[in-house]
Chains A and B, each alone.
Chain A
């Protein structure tokens, strides 16, 4: 009888202790803050790195909600209007032209695109003089790269047509509808594999500009400093882990049950995508920093996204590197 009552008391104490621990955990989670991230694209393998960092930040008490919107423009509008807190993209024009109160704070990836041609028709850049060119969209990074190379090689395309999506342009190349375009790393590999020698890559100088960066309302960053710091620490650690071992993404996807409905064919593409991305060095282990911003000024200045004399621009006009530097001070720079 005595043992039974003692056991009951023990159970009750354990239940109370568990309850207190859980409630203090909940309080802690609430204390760490919450954030709503808006992607301007459908979920895909390229977002897994970020989603892993988010899961790790959640484990440290940051509540994160992710929404997938139809376009980057919609996502940026959601951030500006306060319907979401963090966006993904490079909103230089939005900051410069309409003085949107947002700042970028972490470079997720660098631009990595590959000019590719039908080698039966073209051998080098000079052969593209007077030929039609196909890029993602007017004012896009792909158009800027192709225009940059046209200037450097003193050639002029007969026309510039816009075909959104590397996958669509790669499909058009395979079908023989177009003979020259620019695609991302995943489609470069696809074309080189499926083309069986029909396609050739054209040389491209190193372009050190951001493809995707995280940005947030400046006010949100000030008010949610702790949550942003935790997210940045986890991003830096995740990016370093991916650079060390690209297979980490697949492992972590299984561990955290991320994008469980992804088709098998896409799942099979995760490892090659991250291996290629690491190989082309698109993930900076230090989150980009000032060096990335300078690269952006040069490239987006040429592209026309940033207007005016870029040498007169300052980092603070577009970026808030304070939280990143704080995270790097803690974790160390590589």
Chain B
């Protein structure tokens, strides 16, 4: 008996194509680091270190523990901020998708927040929240929350109508529609919004550490810049880019594994 639900198309990439992809991606990274090394050796500026000098500083910061201490500081406002944004953002976003009054009330605010250069507001945050953890958490929230809210809202709005109608035809209550159909169907997009929100949160926390008070990775950047240790400054910048890329990449993997199995199969595992 054939299934009523269509199976996702499985197009596993052949091994040769996979090898070619890995080769080109490796070359892309090598090209970037090679260009960096050459630019540093010219040098394009006396404040621009070579890639190897930066890597030397990067591993020095890791092995002497300064990098871990810095990340322990940076992650505090990031985790709290993303946690608040996720809880508040998903709830508001789902509410907006399900209720017109909430939608009309909230949509303009979050659209403006997403479109406006919110980073410009970060210095103003200090007037309300001072210079401590609260101000940095606020900076993360104002950058991460609009993305999470709007993605959650759009996810709920675009939930599969056929599934909702099917639930209704089976006498499912409104609550059952929401819990069993709308939210599960919207969850891939909600999670994608969360991933983008985390990426925005990284921007928020680093801006806060550079513009409010220098702590964590922001402190590594400002301190090493002020004492002209540019290889350490670039190592700190490199580390945050790497950390953000790995974190967002892992979230994408989780998204594919848990919410988008069809993409997992298309990618060939």
Cβ contact within 8 Å between B223 and A137: yes
Cβ contact within 8 Å between B213 and A164: yes
Interchain CB contact (< 8 A) of A138 among B126, B130, B131, B219: B219
Task: For A94, list chain B residues within 8 Å (CB).
Answer: 228
Task: For B46, list chain A residues within 8 Å (CB).
Answer: 80, 98-100
The total of chain A residues at the interface (CB under 8 A) is 26
Cβ contact within 8 Å between B47 and A305: no
Is A97 at the interface (CB under 8 A from chain B)? Answer: yes
Cβ contact within 8 Å between B223 and A139: yes
Cβ contact within 8 Å between A162 and B227: no
A98-B47, A138-B214, A162-B214 given; A177·B130 CB < 8 A: yes
Cβ contact within 8 Å between B47 and A93: no
Is B16 at the interface (CB under 8 A from chain A)? Answer: no
Is B169 at the interface (CB under 8 A from chain A)? Answer: no
Q: Roughly how many angstroms separate A71 CA and B210 CA in the complex, as a whole number?
A: 12
Is B222 at the interface (CB under 8 A from chain A)? Answer: yes
Cβ contact within 8 Å between B130 and A139: no
Cβ contact within 8 Å between A137 and B226: yes
Cβ contact within 8 Å between B131 and A168: yes
Q: Roughly how many angstroms separate A100 CA and B48 CA in the complex, as a whole number?
A: 12
Is A172 at the interface (CB under 8 A from chain B)? Answer: yes
Cβ contact within 8 Å between B214 and A93: no
A80-B45, A80-B47 given; A163·B131 CB < 8 A: yes
Task: For A140, list chain B residues within 8 Å (CB).
Answer: 226
Q: Roughly how many angstroms separate A72 CA and B228 CA in the complex, as a whole number?
A: 12
Q: What 0/1 pattern do residues 121 to 132 of B give for CB contact below 8 A with A?
A: 000001000110
Is A77 at the interface (CB under 8 A from chain B)? Answer: yes
Is A81 at the interface (CB under 8 A from chain B)? Answer: yes
Cβ contact within 8 Å between A73 and B229: no
Cβ contact within 8 Å between B213 and A98: no
Task: For A81, list chain B residues within 8 Å (CB).
Answer: 45
Residues facing B in A92-133 (CB within 8 A) are: 93-94, 96-100
Cβ contact within 8 Å between A97 and B214: no
Task: For A98, list chain B residues within 8 Å (CB).
Answer: 46-47, 228, 230
Task: For B227, list chain A residues within 8 Å (CB).
Answer: 93, 97, 139, 304-305
Is B225 at the interface (CB under 8 A from chain A)? Answer: yes
Task: For A96, list chain B residues within 8 Å (CB).
Answer: 228
A163 to chain B, nearest CB (A): 6
**Minimum CB distance partner of A95 in chain B:** B228
**Minimum CB distance partner of B44 in chain A:** A81
Count A-B pairs with CB separation below 8 Å: 55
Q: Roughly how many angstroms separate A99 CA and B222 CA in the complex, as a whole number?
A: 20
Task: For A168, list chain B residues within 8 Å (CB).
Answer: 126, 131
Is A67 at the interface (CB under 8 A from chain B)? Answer: no
Is A161 at the interface (CB under 8 A from chain B)? Answer: yes
Q: Give the interface centre of B126, B131, B219 by most chain A CB atoms within 10 Å.
A: B131
Q: What 0/1 pattern do residues 153 to 197 of A give for CB contact below 8 A with B?
A: 000000001111000100010000100000000000000000000
Q: Roughly how many angstroms separate A97 CA and B233 CA in the complex, as a whole number?
A: 14
A176 to chain B, nearest CB (A): 12
Task: For B223, list chain A residues within 8 Å (CB).
Answer: 137-139
Task: For A93, list chain B residues within 8 Å (CB).
Answer: 226-229
Cβ contact within 8 Å between B45 and A139: no
Cβ contact within 8 Å between A162 and B213: yes
Q: Roughly how many angstroms separate A99 CA and B47 CA in the complex, as a whole number?
A: 10
Task: For A72, list chain B residues within 8 Å (CB).
Answer: 226
Interchain CB contact (< 8 A) of A139 among B126, B213, B226: B226
A40 to chain B, nearest CB (A): 11
Interchain CB contact (< 8 A) of B45 among A77, A97, A163: A77
Cβ contact within 8 Å between A97 and B228: yes
B74 to chain A, nearest CB (A): 15
Q: Roughly how many angstroms separate A293 CA and B47 CA in the complex, as a whole number?
A: 25
A-B pairs, 8 with minimum CB distance = A93-B228, A138-B223, A94-B228, A97-B228, A93-B227, A98-B46, A73-B225, A139-B227
**CB<8 Å pairs between A and B, sample of 29:** A73-B225, A73-B226, A77-B45, A77-B47, A80-B47, A81-B45, A93-B226, A94-B228, A96-B228, A99-B46, A100-B46, A137-B214, A137-B222, A137-B223, A137-B226, A138-B214, A138-B219, A138-B223, A138-B226, A139-B223, A139-B226, A140-B226, A161-B213, A162-B214, A163-B131, A168-B126, A172-B130, A177-B130, A305-B227
> Residues of A with Cβ closer than 8 Å to B?
72-73, 77, 80-81, 91, 93-94, 96-100, 137-140, 161-164, 168, 172, 177, 304-305
Further pairs besides A97-B228, A138-B219: 20, Cβ < 8 Å? A73-B226, A77-B45, A91-B228, A93-B229, A97-B229, A98-B47, A98-B228, A98-B230, A100-B228, A137-B222, A137-B223, A137-B226, A139-B223, A139-B226, A162-B213, A163-B213, A164-B214, A168-B126, A172-B130, A304-B227
